[in-house]
């Protein structure tokens, strides 16, 4: 088995997964989170899952996630987020997709820059809500994370912006189709409005408005804090943390939601990179020397090397398609053209394929461009 580490240069899990699957040349690509523990028979059971998925014509196969619970206490608010992964639909903590299906939809939508909703988005684009993804028998444990700090629950509110992108891309019924419950956003909006009304009342010296606003805000914030404290371990630290963050969460959630509404207001369907790019040779990758049969005369064009390397780094396949009618008309021997192509490959390769039409223009072949033979 070969382990190859690829670098996406940042941009979040959607971009990282795209770099990964594009480099893969297998029919199926399995994704795991970096903090999961696949069970010892995982690989064998993955083969079983994929065999069944193939026979049923599905494009995805999801593993079963288990989260070991703390033995001696109730889970904290942060831990309950991880526990929520159990039974969540189409999460990439353990998910395999057919590579050709990923390529057909351009891969993961890189406008989802956090580990949030990028998995539901691609699942919907691959038809998971219509039964194209099955849950397999393989099992993966997702351990509880180490304490992510006081403000983790507040930072997570950034996901409200991603929800706006989901709404824009998948329409008003996206939550039902993605099995993503609405949650508390409407209540957060009410609490925030009450807080603003109270603040406005204080500033405008209108005691009735100030009193009603502050009372509403306190009531709403208290309810949120209790809803998060009640199921937890109720230690002094957890209670303190829930009180502080429950004051911050409603306005931050509303802010991210509005931010997402503005940012994604014109977002269109995701168009990822192509699966392959085919280049002409003469005048495109190398300077044109008419009827060249001499490898010594091959000179790359200015940006050819950069462009090819960037495509390769992204996992996009690169090929050359070239008309060499000089072979068909007798001006060059096939070996001369092959020698020039070897030099092109030395200077600009490796290529995933170099395809040559050797026929004369009047030969009526199916491969001389613009006929599609070489591309096919
Ligand atoms: Zn041809």
Break the chain into its structural domains and give their ranges. 13-146, 185-251, 276-363
pLDDT confidence of residue 125:
97
pLDDT grade for 348, boundaries at 50, 70 and 90: very high
Ligand 1 ion: residues within 5 Å (CB): 357, 359, 365, 367-368
* 369 CA distance to ligand 1 middle (Å): 8
* 359 CA distance to ligand 1 middle (Å): 4
In angstroms, rounded to a whole number, what is the distance separating the alpha carbons of residues 339 and 333? 10
* 315 CA distance to ligand 1 middle (Å): 29
pLDDT 10s digits, 101-115: 999 999 999 999 999
Q: What is the pTM of this model?
A: 0.87
* 335 CA distance to ligand 1 middle (Å): 17
pLDDT (average), residues 199-204:
96
From the number of C-beta atoms within 10 Å of its C-beta (0-12, 13-18, 19+), residue 198 rates as buried
Whether the CB-CB separation of 276 and 376 falls below 8 Å is answered with no
Cis peptide before 350 (omega within 30 of 0): yes
| Domain covering 13-146 in this structure, CATH number | 3.90.550.10
H-state helical runs in the chain: 13-23, 42-55, 77-83, 99-104, 118-125, 152-155, 159-170, 174-178, 185-203, 207-229, 236-263, 304-313, 325-328, 334-348
Fold of domain 276-363: Rossmann fold (3.40.50)
Q: Running DSSP on this structure, what letter comes out for residue 134?
A: E
User: What is the rounded average pLDDT for all residues in the chain?
Assistant: 95
pLDDT (average), residues 59-73:
95
Helix, strand, coil share (%) of the chain residues, nearest 5: 45, 10, 40
């Amino acid at each position: 088995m070969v382990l190859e580490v690829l670098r996406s240069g940042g941009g979040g899990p959607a971009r990282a997964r795209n770099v990964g699957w594009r480099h893969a040349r297998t029919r199926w690509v399995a994704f795991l989170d970096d903090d999961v523990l696949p069970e010892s028979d995982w690989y064998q059971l993955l083969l079983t899952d994929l065999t069944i998925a193939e026979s049923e014509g599905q494009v995805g196969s999801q593993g079963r996630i288990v989260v070991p619970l703390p033995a001696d206490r109730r889970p904290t608010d942060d831990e309950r987020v991880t526990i929520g992964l159990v039974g969540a639909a189409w999460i990439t903590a353990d998910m395999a997709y057919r590579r050709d299906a990923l390529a057909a939809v351009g891969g993961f939508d890189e406008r989802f820059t956090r580990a949030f909703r990028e998995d539901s988005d691609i699942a919907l684009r691959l038809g998971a809500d219509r039964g194209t993804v099955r849950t397999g028998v393989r099992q993966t444990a997702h351990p509880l994370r180490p304490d992510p700090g006081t403000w983790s629950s507040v930072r997570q509110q950034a996901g409200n912006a991603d929800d706006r992108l989901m709404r824009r891309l998948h329409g008003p019924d996206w939550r039902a189709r993605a099995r993503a419950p609405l949650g508390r956003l409407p209540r957060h909006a009410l609490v925030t409005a009450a807080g603003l009304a109270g603040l406005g009342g204080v500033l405008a010296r209108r005691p009735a408005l100030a009193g009603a606003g502050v009372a509403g805000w306190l009531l709403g914030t208290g309810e949120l804090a209790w809803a998060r404290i009640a199921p937890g371990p109720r230690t002094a630290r957890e209670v303190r943390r829930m009180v502080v963050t429950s004051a911050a969460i409603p306005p931050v959630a509303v802010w991210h939601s509005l931010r997402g509404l503005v940012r994604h207001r014109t977002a269109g369907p995701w168009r990822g990179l192509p699966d392959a790019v085919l280049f002409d040779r003469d005048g495109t990758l190398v300077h044109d020397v008419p009827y060249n049969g001499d490898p010594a005369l091959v000179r790359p064009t200015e940006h050819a090397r950069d462009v090819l390397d960037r495509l390769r780094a992204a996992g996009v396949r690169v090929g050359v398609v070239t008309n060499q009618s000089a072979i068909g008309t007798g001006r060059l021997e096939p070996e001369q053209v092959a020698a020039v192509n070897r030099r092109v490959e030395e200077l600009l390769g490796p290529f995933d394929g170099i395809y040559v039409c050797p026929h004369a223009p009047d030969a009526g072949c199916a491969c001389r461009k613009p006929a599609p033979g070489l591309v096919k």
